[in-house]
Structure 1
Amino acid sequence: MTPSLDATQLGAYFALIEASSLLKHAVEQQLREAGDLSYVQFQLLATLGDAPTGSRRMTDLADGVVYSRSGLTYQAQTLEKRGLVTRTQSSDDERSITVTITDEGRAVLAKVFPGHIAVLGDLLFAPLSRADIETLADILTRTRDHMRQTPPRSAEPRRRRKPTSAAE
């Protein structure tokens, strides 16, 4: 028997998807206008800005923002060309790359944050009471934590290719 969702579950799902899309669109527009950043680039800078050292390993960043390793590498290269991050070989793992936010990256974050907060306040939080926000935070945290029990592909161990012989 195929599992099914009731009308309330379907309604909740579609409302979540539509609200997420509308919010992400508005946030992306604000980030482009205020700092010439994509949503993923903002996530990277904000994650690095929140890290105590301002640095994170690429693999950890990919898992945190749920983005492919190759896509994240491209985004980090783009930010590095703008002088917003630096990329170096990790001191504790020669196979890893560490990304660090620069002073210029922190300045761009400081520039985009006021507008970012305004968009969130106007679109996401304005129609909610404080109790609603607390309930929403609880629900989304539990849902996220449940989903994180199955790690995204970016967090899976890399498969090693078998060497091919000259005879193949």
Structure 2
Amino acid sequence: MTTPPSALTRTQLDAYLSFTEVAALLRPAVEQQLREAGELSYVQFQLLARLGDAPEGRLRMTDLADGVVYSRSGLTYQAQVLEQRGLVTRGPSPDDERSTVVSLTEAGRDILAAVFPGHIATVHGLLFAQISDDDAATLADVLGRISGHLRQHPPRSAGRGRRKATPPTG
């Protein structure tokens, strides 16, 4: 077993600080655009976008929660809000009645169509306009590897159905 390092190198610290700064500066601008264009939160947009990319426009709730790295209870609430707006429907899975499937409605597709042009412009203008396609490919590769590593040990709220053992009382 290897011993974890006791400090970050200067390069690692600079990369970490730059990454957190970019995320902190980008997200509010993206969230504002989503609110203005579609009255959507960031998580609601992620949910709709994943459904838009899914075969037949539907996914199981657990797969959505894992994909957007969001707690199942939080995602249930967000899906309920979207369902009340008529953007999604929820129902039992045809394959497993214990699972809930979320499906994108035509109204949901319409809101995505309304939001995407501004979303793309915001992300491009703030994140990609200053770098080359080669830089973007390198960034995608590096972040993809990190994401894959982090998904091996996801936060408890985003992990696959692990339950904490209840200690005996007495």
| TM-score between both structures, scaled by the size of structure 2 | 0.90
Q: Which stretches in structure 1 are left out of the alignment for 5+ residues?
A: 163-167
**In the alignment, residue 65 of structure 1 is paired with which amino acid?**
V
Matching of residue 88 in structure 1 with residue 91 in structure 2: yes
Query: Which string of whole-angstrom CA distances, capped at 9 and with x for unpartnered residues, describes residues 90-137 of structure 1?
Result: 111222110000000000000000000000110000100121111111
Among residues 2, 8, 16, which one is paired with 1:13 in the alignment? 16
The aligned residue for residue 22 of structure 1 is: 25
Q: Which runs of 4+ in 1 moved over 6 A?
A: none
> Could you tell me whether the CA contact under 8 Å between 2:66 and 2:160 is conserved in 1?
no
Matching of residue 106 in structure 1 with residue 109 in structure 2: yes
The aligned residue for residue 40 of structure 1 is: 43
> Could you tell me whether the CA contact under 8 Å between 2:61 and 2:100 is conserved in 1?
yes
Q: Which stretches in structure 2 are left out of the alignment for 5+ residues?
A: none
Instruction: Give distance in 1, aligned partners of 2:125 and 2:94.
Output: 43
The aligned residue for residue 165 of structure 1 is: none
> Could you tell me whether the CA contact under 8 Å between 1:58 and 1:97 is conserved in 2?
yes
The aligned residue for residue 49 of structure 1 is: 52
**In the alignment, residue 71 of structure 2 is paired with which amino acid?**
S
Q: CA RMSD in A?
A: 1.9
Cα displacement (A) at 1:152: 3.9
The aligned residue for residue 156 of structure 1 is: 160
Instruction: Give distance in 2, aligned partners of 1:47 and 1:15.
Output: 28
Cα gap change, 1:158 to 1:78, in 2 (>3 Å): same
Cα displacement (A) at 1:161: 8.0
Cα gap change, 1:8 to 1:97, in 2 (>3 Å): same
Among residues 142, 148, 155, which one is paired with 1:145 in the alignment? 148
Instruction: Give distance in 2, aligned partners of 1:14 and 1:106.
Output: 37
> Could you tell me whether the CA contact under 8 Å between 1:48 and 1:55 is conserved in 2?
yes
Cα displacement (A) at 1:151: 3.5
The answer to which of 46-55 and 2-11 deviates more is 2-11
**In the alignment, residue 63 of structure 1 is paired with which amino acid?**
D
Number of residue pairs matched by the alignment? 164
Instruction: Give distance in 2, aligned partners of 1:20 and 1:35.
Output: 22
Instruction: Give distance in 2, aligned partners of 1:64 and 1:36.
Output: 22
Instruction: Give distance in 2, aligned partners of 1:142 and 1:2.
Output: 20
**In the alignment, residue 70 of structure 1 is paired with which amino acid?**
S
| TM-score between both structures, scaled by the size of structure 1 | 0.91
**In the alignment, residue 53 of structure 1 is paired with which amino acid?**
E
